[in-house]
Amino acid sequence: MNNSFPRKNGTARSTGSALLVVMWCIAVMVTVLILATSTVEQEMNSISGRIARDRARQLALAGLALADHPAVKPGDPILNQDFGNGERIQVQITSEEAKLNLNLWLADERQPSLVQLFRTWGMERRDAERLVYAMADWIDGDVLKRAQGAEVRDYPVKNRPYNRPFSNLDEIRLVRDFVLLETVRPDWRSRISVRGQGSLDLMAAPADLITGLTGCSPESVALWLRDRYGRDGIRYSDDDVEPSLEQALAQLGIPPANGVGRWLTVRGPTRRIQSIGIAGDYAHIVSLVSARQGGGGPQGNPGIALPGGRGSLLWKEERSGTVQGLLRSGAGEMTF
């Protein structure tokens, strides 16, 4: 008697195994397809991001070129343009003298004003004096230590202080006790510079710098801030005023005999341009500091163009990234 059941069971097992193999192959193919699709999508996003970043940089450089043209004035509508498709530029022109050039404000005759400023920022007098004298020792060309100052023996690291003017803001953080200032004024970089011609631009400087460096009352400075841009309080509008330095000093209540008036101006000679290019979700920030026409500075002043002409003092591609990321980092002073 011929029994076919074992053969049928073997066939069923073979068919089942083949089906499992087919299903396994399909699963592998689907997995490979998903991975390939994901990889292609990531690569496309990466390429798209690179294109957007490059475009944002191109826009930022274009904005910088527009702003650096002698015929373009601060507040010109050409400096803020929307090109559609998520592309735009936002450019701000201000005065580098809106900040204090620390190298020049460390001169012996200006040190009391600097101590006064640090005190208005929240430092104790003794700490403010120690820091100012340590900074002065850092930039002078000798190894003689000022009272309360800091020279070689006061630093745990060799080759400090540098005994030359600060060349960038990061060097300032190396000075002994600087952490005391950084604690009370974390945004000190928005107030201090190592560029410019050393005067303080009363038309651009913030209230705390004017109050701290001049000793004016907060009330007189508040009135000055209210009136310096005209009745609408908006700079670069139709009702802007152009007061003389004498008028500004009178409104602030600074006597002509007060020596601090020598270090003030109503038209800073050094322009700072910050250009932001935006393309989609990406932004790029470029800054340029340059002397105005005929705006040379004193010899030996670091970062100042030669007398008699315009010149680039500082060129910096500051930051690049997503708009949201730059906003979180506080990169831009303007609104994206």
How far apart are the C-alpha atoms of 169 and 184, rounded to whole Å?
A: 17
Residue 163 in any domain: the answer is: no
On the CB side of 16, CA atoms within 13 Å amount to 6
The reply to whether 129 falls in a domain is no
How many domains, in total, are found in the chain? 1
Reported as a single tens digit per residue, the pLDDT across 116-146 is 999 999 999 999 999 999 999 999 999 999 9
With respect to residue 169, please indicate whether it lies within any of the assigned structural domains: no
Residues 6 or more apart whose CB falls under 8 angstroms from that of 291 comprise 269, 270, 271, 297, 304, 305, 309, 310, 311, 313
**Dihedral sign for Cα atoms in the order 229, 232, 238, 241:** negative
In this structure, is residue 272 part of a structural domain? yes
The residue behind tokens 């475009």 is 55
* Alpha carbon 190 to its chain's center: 7
Residue 127: both structure tokens together: 């700490």
Q: Is 130 inside any structural domain?
A: no
Q: What confidence tens digit (pLDDT) does each residue in 232-242 have? A: 777 777 777 78
Say what the pLDDT of residue 12 is.
61
- On whether residue 55 sits in a domain, the answer given is yes
Angle value at C-alpha 314, between 93 and 82, nearest 5 degrees = 35
Residue 293 pLDDT > 60, yes or no? no
Domain-embedded: residue 178: no
Does residue 318 lie in a domain region? yes
- Whole-prediction pTM: 0.74
Residue-range definition of the domain harbouring residue 245: 1-121+185-336
Please write the tens of the pLDDT for every residue from 152-201.
Answer: 999 999 999 999 999 999 999 999 999 999 999 999 999 999 988 899 99
